[in-house]
Structure formats: C-alpha cells, structure tokens
Amino acid sequence: MAKALIFLLLPLFLLLSGCSKPGDDSARRAHELLEAGRFEEARTLIDTSLKETPDSPSLRQERMHLALLLGQPEIAAAEARQILRLNPKAQPYRRPLEDRLPAVRANALKALALDPPDRPSPSSLIKTGLKDPDPTVRREAAEATRILDSKEAIKILRVAAKDQDWLTRATAARLFGQRGNPSLIPDLFAMLQDADSYVRRFARRSLLELAEKAKPEAYVPSLKSSDRTTQIVAALALVRLNDGRGAEVLLAEIANPLGIERAECVKAVSKLVDPRVLAALRTATGDKDPEVRVVALIALGLLKDKDSAQLFKKISTDPSNPKDVKLAAAKALDLLSKPAETP
C-alpha cells in the first residue's frame, strides 16, 4: 500500500520540483534573511547566487527588496528594469507595494518614479500607494505623480488634496503649482481655508506661481471673497499679471496695523501705476514692523520719489531707528541720484 502511494505521488513531486527555477531556493533563503534583518548575509548570498544564475528574476527581486530596505531607490529601480528585461510580464513593484514595512512601500514609489515601467501602468501603482494606510507612503504617491501626464496627475492630486494627513495635503498644494495648470486655481483657493497653516502657505505660493500661466479673470472673482486672505492673494496674483484691480485690497492691508501681509503688499503696490501708492508707501515708512519700513523705503527710492528726500535723511540719521532701517533710508536717498532705468 505504501509503495503504491509513493508511485502515485512521485509524478506530482517531480512536477512540483520541475516548477522551481534556478536561483529560487537561494532567493527564498535570502528573503528569510532579509525578514530577519540579516542584510549583509542576504547580500552575500544574493551576489554569490547571481554569479551562478544571473538571469534569475527571483534573485533580482530580492536584490530589489534589499535596496528598498536600505533606502536605495535608484538601485531598486535598476533591479526592476532587469526583472522586466528577463520577463516583460513581470510586476516587480507588486510585492514591494504590499510589504509590511511602510518604508519599503514608500521607497518602492520613489523607485517607480525614477524609472516608470510600461506595465502595469504607473498611474495604477500610484493610485494603490495613495490608498495606503501610512501617510508617508501616500505622500510619496503624490510626489510620484510628476511622471504622469497632466490630466491623470491632477485627478490623483485632487484626491491627495483631501487627505486626512496635513502634510499630504500640503504636498498636493505644492505640486498643484508645479503643474502650471490654471484650472487648479479654484482648488488652491479652497485650500486657503485649510485648517493647517502649512497647507495654506503652499496653496498661497502655488496660486502666485500659477499667475504666470493664467489670465486675470481667474483671480478677479476672489477679490470679492468674504475671506481676507483670499482677497489679498488674488490681489497679489493680479499684480504679477500687471493688473491693478486689486489695489484697493493691497492698500487696505498696508494700512492695517494687524495685517500679516503688509511687507508683501508694499512690494506689490510699488509696481502699480496708481496715484495712491506714494502716499501709502510714505506712511509705511513709519510702520511698527522694521521689515515693512525697509521695503517701503527701498520702494520709494526705486520710484524716484524726490518729495521723500528729507524723510530719507531724517530716518537715516535718527539713532532710534534700527540699523537696517537707517541703511535702507540711505540706500533710498542714493537711488534718487541715480538715473531711472529705461525699460
């Protein structure tokens, strides 16, 4: 009976053994070593085994795993390329994106962005990363959208912009600006209301970056917003477009002693052709914030406001003024004597 059973099982055993490819046993051992944290032993085993079977996809996969564990996405990307060369139908990123360690999953997305595979589509892998329970991985997924075309990337980033993790939302806000697509302006204005100041800061910066790609009409409606920050950012963006329709907002902010954007507004209004600008800048030279005073003085000097010459002299010689303010006043006085720059 026992002999009959052996004869029955022998073909199955031979079939299973035939399925094992050269290097698979070493790859399994290397995987065990990596899981145990014995990286050097695993590296030695992989390197030695690859000399004997250089075309082993399983050994290449473990070398990729080692690189991801060590935070070496460049090496991991090169190994993924080799795996796909050996087997174009392979999916070298599938296992890393399912790894138990968030660092491995995050590094896999970094590697993916360095050398995107043709299949499966990078966007599907990035979407998988954006669903990861760990925010570090989700942030790397957002960063990896740089390899995608604008339409696909924006779709994914709009999901990231609503992530529960504030840093993932901030990453989305920053990448929105880098995309250079004016259609994202409404998304960014909405992000100015985010609970986190870091997110709001990147949304503001991206809104100003996008002004170079947009038309004034994209910002004008926001001048009527009930939110003061939204109004100011819209007005600052319009100045970059040589549009003075936000002048009222900027001048009001300069005159507001509690305004947190006074220095930026001073810089902006100095570029406008508006009869109210010089008076506002002169008033700003007495602002409680030395930075605002410095910016206002330099702006008046660049505008060749000769009527402020005595004011510059008084400020530059007043010992009660901070050193930076006195130097700015002296610089403004010097600018008055220089010929105006021709456009």
Token digits of residue 191 = 């992000």
Token digits of residue 46 = 């992989």
Rounded to an integer, the average pLDDT of 287-309 is: 97
Last residue of a domain, one of 128, 148, 168: 148
In a domain, 244, yes or no: no
* Cβ proximity of 230 and 237 under 8 Å: no
Q: Express each pLDDT in 100-123 by its tens digit.
A: 999 999 999 999 999 998 877 899
Choose among 271, 278, 289: nearest CA to 235.
271
Which residue range forms the structural domain that includes residue 276?
264-338
Instruction: State how far the Cα of 191 lies from the Cα of 156, in Å rounded to an integer.
Output: 16
> pLDDT averaged over the chain?
92
In a domain, 17, yes or no: no
- Where do we find the tokens 């935070």? 71
| pLDDT above 90 (res 178) | yes
How many domains is the chain partitioned into structurally? Answer: 2
Q: Please state, for a pLDDT cut of 70, what percent of the chain lies above it.
A: 93
Q: Express each pLDDT in 218-276 by its tens digit.
A: 999 999 999 999 999 999 999 999 999 999 999 999 999 999 999 999 999 999 999 99
* Cβ proximity of 62 and 46 under 8 Å: yes
Backbone angles phi, psi at 20, to 5 degrees: -75, 130
Q: What is the CATH number of the domain that holds 56?
A: 1.25.40
In a domain, 276, yes or no: yes
Last residue of a domain, one of 122, 148, 174: 148
| pLDDT above 60 (res 14) | no
pTM: 0.84
In a domain, 308, yes or no: yes
Q: Express each pLDDT in 49-96 by its tens digit.
A: 999 999 999 999 999 999 999 999 999 999 999 999 999 999 999 999
In a domain, 140, yes or no: yes
In a domain, 155, yes or no: no
Neighbours of 232 (CB within 10 A): 26
Last residue of a domain, one of 116, 148, 180: 148
In a domain, 54, yes or no: yes
In a domain, 115, yes or no: yes
pLDDT band of residue 337 (cuts 50, 70, 90) is confident
